[in-house]
Structures are given as C-alpha cells and as structure tokens.
Amino acid sequence: MIKACLRLLLLCTAVLFSVNTLAADKPSFKICWSIYAGWMPWDFAQQSGIVKKWADKYGIDIQFVQVNDYIESVNQYTAGGFDGCTMTNMDALTIPATGGVDSTALIVGDYSNGNDGILLKGKGNIASLKGKPINLVELSVSHYLLARALEKSGMSEKDVKVVNTADADLVAAFGTQDVHSIVTWNPLLAEAEKQPDSHLVFSSAQIPGEILDLLVVNTATLKKYPQLGKALTGAWYETLKTMSGQSDSAKAARTQMAQASGTDLAGFDQQLAATHLFSDAKTTLDFVDSPQLKATMQMVAEFSFKHGLLGEGAPSADVVGVETPAGNWGDANNLKLRFTDEYTKLAAAGQL
C-alpha cells in the first residue's frame, strides 16, 4: 500500500513537472500598441479573449501592452523591448527600418480617410496659406499631409512657415488669435473644428491609401515563429467581423473600444467613419498586392529623406529598401521594411 502511494506520488510529480516544463517552453511574445481608432480592435481582441483563443490554437502566448506615448512605443519596439508594435507606414520606415531593425508589416489595418486634416480660420483654401505660419507636429504624418496638400496645389513647403507644436497644445493654440491654421488628427481635429470660423481645407481623404496604420512585427521573429503571424492575423480578422455592423454584439464591441479610447460609441463611430478600415482579408489583399503601395512608399521615402528622417548622412531617398508584393523600392541590399501578403492570403482562403 505504501509503495503504491509512493508510485502514485512520483507519477503525479512527474506529470506536474512535465506540464510546468511545457508551459515554460511555450513561446511568448509582447506587442505594444497605443490609442488610435484603427488600433483599438487589438485591445478589444485581447480583453475579449480572441487573442488568447488564436494564440492557444498555435501553442504560443501573446500579450498586448499599451504604451501611452505613441512614438515611445515605436522606439521601444526598435530597441528590442517588444516583438511587434502598431505604427504608421512612415514611422515604420523612419524609425525601426532606418535604425537597422528588419521589420514586417504583418497587418495593414486601415488608411486615414479624413482622420487627418488641415484646418483654417476664416475664408480661404490651401493657396491662401502662402506666406503664413502653420502649426503642426513637425516630421509627423501631419507634416507629410501638409507637404502633399501643398504639392497638389502647385506649392511647396518653402511657401509656408511650419511651426512645430506639441499635439497636446494644438487645439488650445488654434483658439488663440495668433494661430491661423493647424494640421492634426482625430480626435484633436474634431475638437479643433468645433471652434468658430474654422473649416477643413484638406484632409487625408484626398490622398487615400497614403497614411497607413500597421501592425509591424520583427522579421527575424516572424520567420522563426510563423505561428505568431497566423495567430495575430486570425485574431485580427475575427475581431473585425465581431465589431462590424449594427448587431447588439457589434455595438457592444465598439462601445468597449470607445470607452477604452476615452469616448462614447457615437464618437468612436465618427472616428471610424474617417478611417478606411479594411473590413476583411480579401479587401486587405487587394490593397497590399496593388502597385499603389510601392508608389506610396516611394513618396514617403522621398519626403523622409528631404526632412532628414532616413538617418544622418543618408545619401538618397532609396537608402532603405522596402519590399512589397508588387515590387521593391530602394536598396535591394538593405531591405528593412517588408509588406507581406502571406498570412492575409491564408486568412482570405480560410486556411488559418
């Protein structure tokens, strides 16, 4: 009897040791994100258990970590503190890729379709900005938006004076007599637009598909653990399906996202209306595989080079190579930013 109990105890100990060993060996990944309408689905996916469901399916652990300062989140990813991070296409090029971190845009989630804009007091248009100061966050996507707006009006940045202003100060600045025009993004844009005598003279809806919001993952990590790409992609498209439409469950999902981002359902839906969220894998695939993506990244690279964002001493705009399904831009020997359709194809085919 004593021997039988001893054997049972030893067996239980062995099983417990085996389970703990397997848990310890389970690959774990950390992804950082910051608050923005197009990235709130990731927070909901984690809070609702969708991320865990897909991570469990592929035998891994995924943890999304909120970082309040957006640029700091990108910097932390670049420094190796995270395996992935939400960021725009311009920041993906100018921070991790330029910093030598080979990165892959796993999910192209949306493009700004009015979420970024140029506000002007009184009457006028882009041409009326000539010779006047414009307040914005310098070297941000707002700066890029201004450059594109000026270009479309036959002007250049030499025709205006850019005044670098922290995003937290832009709305208050626009309320003063000294500030004539600002460039910003939602929800700041919507707040500033409430001020009397203000109107929108240009928005990202006029350059569709250029300001992209991505989930970027370290390329080496993704190659070693393709299950990470599969789990994240599966979780993303399940979340989009859950939040779409006017069913009670969809509204509840968007309400949770709204509250987490500091607004209500109406406010969040308003932000989503200015965000071209790729609603399913097939729609995403059509965009990622199009030649437009390569052309956009060339424009972004040329803007970034002009403003010294491609590193000290960068000889040209094509110093950093960008890989897309429709072809590459830049130095083929220095490919550091990759747009992949591999996992989106699996999702579109129902093979995840």
CB atoms closer than 10 angstroms to residue 239: 23
Q: Tens digits of per-residue pLDDT, 5-46? A: 445 444 444 444 444 444 458 999 999 999 889 999 999 999
Q: Which of 64, 11, 4, 2 lies closest to 34 in space, CA to CA?
A: 64
Give the pairing of strands 212-218 and 275-277: unpaired
Task: State the DSSP H helix or E strand holding residue 114, giving kind and residue range, or none if neither.
Answer: none
Reported confidence tier of residue 109, pLDDT bands at 50, 70, 90: very high
pTM: 0.86
* Residue 106, SS3 per DSSP: strand
Question: What token pair was written down for 259?
Answer: 């509250």
Q: Phi and psi for 121 in degrees, rounded to 5?
A: -90, 140
Q: Which residues pair with 328 in a beta bridge?
A: 323
Q: How far apart are CA 231 and CA 228, in angstroms?
A: 5
At 19 the pLDDT is: 40
Q: Are 293 and 282 in contact (CB under 8 A)?
A: no
Q: Which of 66-70, 85-89, 174-178, 282-286 has the lowest mean pLDDT?
A: 66-70
Q: Tens digits of per-residue pLDDT, 173-192? A: 999 999 999 999 888 898 89
Average pLDDT, stretch 97-102? 96
Q: How far apart are CA 230 and CA 287, in angstroms?
A: 19
Average pLDDT, stretch 201-219? 96
Q: Give me the count of residues in the chain.
A: 352
At 24 the pLDDT is: 55
Q: How far apart are CA 232 and CA 33, in angstroms?
A: 14
